[in-house]
Structure 1
Amino acid sequence: MSLPAKIVLIGAGSAVFTQGLLADFILSTDFRPLEIALVDTDEQVLHAIAAVARRMVSVKQAEITITASTDRKDVLPGADVVVTTIAVGGRRAWEADVFIPRKYGIYQPVGDTTMPGGISRALRMIPVMLEIARDVQALCPDAYFFNYSNPMTAICMALRKEAQVDVIGLCHGVLHVEHHLAHFLGVEPSQVRSLGVGLNHLTFLHDLRVGGENGWTQVDEVLQDQKRYLQKAENAPDLFAEMGQAGTANPTYHDNLFSWELYETYGAFPAVLDRHVVEFFPERFRDGRYYGRTLGVDAFSFENVIAKGDADYEILFQRATGAAELDNGLFSRQAGEHEQLVDILRSLYLDERRTFSVNLENQGAIPNLPKRAVLELPAVATGRGFYPLFMHDFPDALLPILNRRIHVVELTVEAALTGRHHLFVEALLADGSVTSEAMAQQLATELLEVHRDYLPQFA
């Protein structure tokens, strides 16, 4: 089977992702000739990203055609691959998801997956993603459909339940943590392999191999050495470095104290480190209290993430107009959400049978977890599609953590599909961050009001 000739990216206004994805395909010369169709509902942003894309293609003289449309129906026919990375309401809606719960003493460093911010985001995202899925089914039914948008688990469960579409969720979390642990051990990332199961942003690596040997033995040795000699976390000057910034190259246990606590308790290490993982345990971090700091404020600052996103868009517009040069770093293949798609497509189309961490319906691959749940798990990418690995030994001790979160996702999906206010309230209560039904009612009402333009199902 030949490699795909047409890829449609819906949500191309995700500037950093789109530029990274384009760079990967420009550098992968076996994908030729190739059409990449960019779709975004914001005409100004679409024009800018399309201009940058064409500049990137021209600089490398790649045999890639860039097309663009604000209407996905114009470009979906003939697509071999469809990729979604949309964010309904953009960063301004995301800010509301996080800032409104703060008034109730609920602090989130991310707010795109779980807790009130993630649940609120799901209510906006699922109806739009369903419309996209139905267009894919109608206009390019044989295309591979990959989703990067969050909340990953809720979106994928909703699309599989309501539209019976075989959407594949992709996230770099497991790969990111494998690299993190490699740096922790002082070995090359190529030496590290893992098996992990869970929900997106809460996947537990329960098997770790370093050069083919049991990696946990090495981890325990380094961990104990660090705990013996390093300062207490409260006094560590580089504590809680932002994701992808300082501290990544030489990580220590105090960079992600809660993740290491979970490892020492359960013998499995969580992806994607504390910034995401703490949000699945809100009862342990009341009022955002986190090792002497406040989540989303001076520990994994949410405002800094938003400011960086706004700055990235300014750079995008400058590159589009020629006011800023294309940075050579665009083609350096820095790690990001996009970096495995090229390898995945090669494995699927050329039947390379490589294993990747993906989000798929369980269907019995992990016997002690619900069959219909969408799990993040290892699967082999073959010429016949993905085949999840059967794992009979996933630790029973982790089941209550994951089953509770699966229940929250199920309530969230039902609320998003039906527009029933009381199911939104039930999801907030089941999540654990809201301490009373009265608070849940008030918070739900306020979030629904601020996002009313994006929530027709609640009208």
Structure 2
Amino acid sequence: MKPTIVIIGAGSVEFTRELLGDILSFPELGSVRVVLHDIDDERLQTAEAIARATAHAAGAAPEVVATSDRRRALDGANYVINVIAVGMHEATVRDFEIPARYGLNQTIADTIGVGGIFRGLRTFPVLAGIARDMAAVCPDAWLLNYTNPMAMNVTFLHRVAPQLKVLGLCHSVYWTMVGLCELIDVPYDEVSYWSAGVNHQAWVLRWERGGENLYPLLDQRIAADPELRRRVRVDMYRRLGYYPTETSEHSSEYVGWYLHRPDEIERLRINVGEYVSISEANIAEYRRVRAELADTQSLTIDTSSTEYAPQVIHSFETGTPRVISANVINDGLITNLPDGLAVEVPTLLDSLGAHPMKVGDLPPQCAALNRNFLGPVDLAVRAAVDGDPRLVRAAAMVDPNTAATLTVDQIAELCDELTSAHGDLIPKELRTRPDVAAGAAPILARDIAN
């Protein structure tokens, strides 16, 4: 029986195009059932056209279904790929413009920090609904989550739906390793590596070719290039001894060292507010693809299969073993990070499922930064699960970049303003000011299994 693959948030057309291009490039997956879901009818229509054009280009014959009814979309699913963006571009702009008025610099704002916290708070209610629907109509399906904030979302799903099978997928480790190999002119296919930590702040713990440690070659490359030293994660690597697995723009806002200092922003060439332009480019790309589809029945596809979700599905369906970096709940996997929160570790895939690998202790300096990262993650999730708006403010207070920039009164005022600005996208119980909240009750995803 052919598997059913559901894409929730399929109106994110470029991502849908890449995912389907990779999925349908596998001969064993050419006749899968693809179900597309989005709450925006125009984007859903565009996603369906993309699916059919991509299938034509791949020479595949999937069954394609499009529906705005989420429970209908999920009925009988084997794999659910989540790529939703709650609030879309307008919410992203608010997450940048309002903090900027307080003097808080952000670059991507989708992970921790006030941008990540409020993105999480908007996303959690929708995740709870997806989990509830999956428990009802596809309880054995895998939820493959791409939506940020990754660590918060995977942790939240574990808290409210512990029976759900969840993998958080992000391409940051893969592209980091590709980029590092290009820097030292070593083919990626010839190297082995071992990476672990948290999503967007994991660490390259080992990087070898034929048993040779490749870090000394990187050191030589950095020493020879002053401009290369003007990047955040190169700066972090030189001070910490292990290379972080996300871009410099991402990495800059997970620590308290850089973004509140204009001289550091200049020294390290940090592009403050970068994600607003990325979000605008995504809108432009959607319009371009929609116009292109008016004149063609086929779209060019990239068959390199670098996205993880297609590889996960292929391994589960065919038994082909692979190791990827995946986000799962820490259960003794990284022994000097807290259990019960999401971590990113090497994970073996095969016909029996996903098998996260035990890493043991991270280097102490890396673990210390990851624990700082996980503070906002834990508190934001607890705020939503417990219905406690005080924990929203606490999450922002312990965020490294926010704490290094604003006073506690400014943080409270900023959280009040962002809560008001996002309105109904924030859970009702969290829209109450903490000074008038009393005896807040748990609010989300109760009795999902029922």
In the superposition, the TM-score normalised over structure 1's length comes to 0.87
- In 2 relative to 1, CA 325–282 (structure 1 residues): closer, same or farther, beyond 3 Å? farther
**Any idea what the Cα deviations from partners look like across 1:347-378, whole Å, max 9, x if unmatched?**
22333332110001121122222121210111
Aligned residue for 1:71? 69
Whole-angstrom CA distance in 1 between matches of 2:293 and 2:350: 38
In the alignment, residue 36 of structure 1 is paired with which amino acid?
V
For the 8 Å contact 2:151–2:199, the answer to whether it is kept is yes
Matched position secondary structure for 1:280: coil
Equivalent position to 1:454, from 411, 425, 437: 425
For the 8 Å contact 1:7–1:36, the answer to whether it is kept is yes
- In 2 relative to 1, CA 36–295 (structure 1 residues): closer, same or farther, beyond 3 Å? farther
Deviation at 1:294, TM superposition (A): 9.4
- In 2 relative to 1, CA 104–295 (structure 1 residues): closer, same or farther, beyond 3 Å? farther
Equivalent position to 1:405, from 373, 376, 398: 373
1:90-239 maps to which residues of 2 (within 5 A)?
Answer: 90-164=88-162, 165-227=164-226, 233=227
For the 8 Å contact 2:326–2:344, the answer to whether it is kept is yes
1:304 is the counterpart of 2:277: yes
Matched position secondary structure for 1:370: coil
Deviation at 1:137, TM superposition (A): 1.7
1:22-61 maps to which residues of 2 (within 5 A)?
Answer: 22-61=20-59
Whole-angstrom CA distance in 1 between matches of 2:409 and 2:305: 43
- In 2 relative to 1, CA 57–198 (structure 1 residues): closer, same or farther, beyond 3 Å? same
Deviation at 1:438, TM superposition (A): 1.1
1:244-323 maps to which residues of 2 (within 5 A)?
Answer: 252-254=228-230, 257-286=231-260, 290-292=264-266, 298=271, 301-322=274-295
Deviation at 1:379, TM superposition (A): 1.2
Whole-angstrom CA distance in 2 between matches of 1:30 and 1:212: 35
* Identical residues among aligned pairs (%): 28
1:441 is the counterpart of 2:412: yes
**Any idea what the Cα deviations from partners look like across 1:159-200, whole Å, max 9, x if unmatched?**
001111231100000001000101111121212332111111
Whole-angstrom CA distance in 1 between matches of 2:224 and 2:148: 37
**Any idea what the Cα deviations from partners look like across 1:26-72, whole Å, max 9, x if unmatched?**
22221142111000011111011112221222344411111101111
Whole-angstrom CA distance in 2 between matches of 1:314 and 1:281: 36
Whole-angstrom CA distance in 1 between matches of 2:170 and 2:139: 23
In the alignment, residue 13 of structure 2 is paired with which amino acid?
A
Whole-angstrom CA distance in 1 between matches of 2:361 and 2:392: 34
For the 8 Å contact 2:53–2:299, the answer to whether it is kept is no
Aligned residue for 1:332? 302
Whole-angstrom CA distance in 1 between matches of 2:139 and 2:89: 31
In the alignment, residue 363 of structure 1 is paired with which amino acid?
D
Whole-angstrom CA distance in 2 between matches of 1:191 and 1:215: 11
Deviation at 1:118, TM superposition (A): 0.7
Whole-angstrom CA distance in 2 between matches of 1:404 and 1:60: 45
For the 8 Å contact 2:22–2:302, the answer to whether it is kept is no
Moved more, 258-267 or 140-149: 258-267
Whole-angstrom CA distance in 1 between matches of 2:282 and 2:262: 23
Whole-angstrom CA distance in 1 between matches of 2:275 and 2:317: 39
Deviation at 1:290, TM superposition (A): 3.8
1:356 is the counterpart of 2:324: yes
Matched position secondary structure for 1:391: coil
Whole-angstrom CA distance in 1 between matches of 2:382 and 2:182: 41
**Any idea what the Cα deviations from partners look like across 1:274-305, whole Å, max 9, x if unmatched?**
11111101443206654417987x55733421
For the 8 Å contact 2:326–2:347, the answer to whether it is kept is yes
Aligned residue for 1:384? 352
Aligned residue for 1:249? none
Deviation at 1:224, TM superposition (A): 2.0
- In 2 relative to 1, CA 138–167 (structure 1 residues): closer, same or farther, beyond 3 Å? same
- In 2 relative to 1, CA 429–299 (structure 1 residues): closer, same or farther, beyond 3 Å? closer
Whole-angstrom CA distance in 1 between matches of 2:29 and 2:188: 26
Deviation at 1:110, TM superposition (A): 0.6
Whole-angstrom CA distance in 1 between matches of 2:319 and 2:399: 41
Aligned residue for 1:373? 341
What value does the CA root-mean-square deviation take over the aligned residues? 2.1
For the 8 Å contact 1:356–1:379, the answer to whether it is kept is yes
Whole-angstrom CA distance in 2 between matches of 1:360 and 1:163: 14
Whole-angstrom CA distance in 1 between matches of 2:15 and 2:407: 39
For the 8 Å contact 1:362–1:373, the answer to whether it is kept is yes
Runs (5+) with no aligned partner, structure 2? 432-450
Whole-angstrom CA distance in 2 between matches of 1:314 and 1:205: 38
For the 8 Å contact 1:360–1:375, the answer to whether it is kept is yes
For the 8 Å contact 2:106–2:272, the answer to whether it is kept is no
For the 8 Å contact 1:205–1:270, the answer to whether it is kept is yes
In the alignment, residue 327 of structure 2 is paired with which amino acid?
N
- In 2 relative to 1, CA 145–299 (structure 1 residues): closer, same or farther, beyond 3 Å? same
Deviation at 1:345, TM superposition (A): 2.0
Aligned residue for 2:443? none
Whole-angstrom CA distance in 2 between matches of 1:279 and 1:325: 43
Runs (5+) with no aligned partner, structure 1? 228-232, 234-251
In the superposition, the TM-score normalised over structure 2's length comes to 0.89
Aligned residue for 2:388? 420
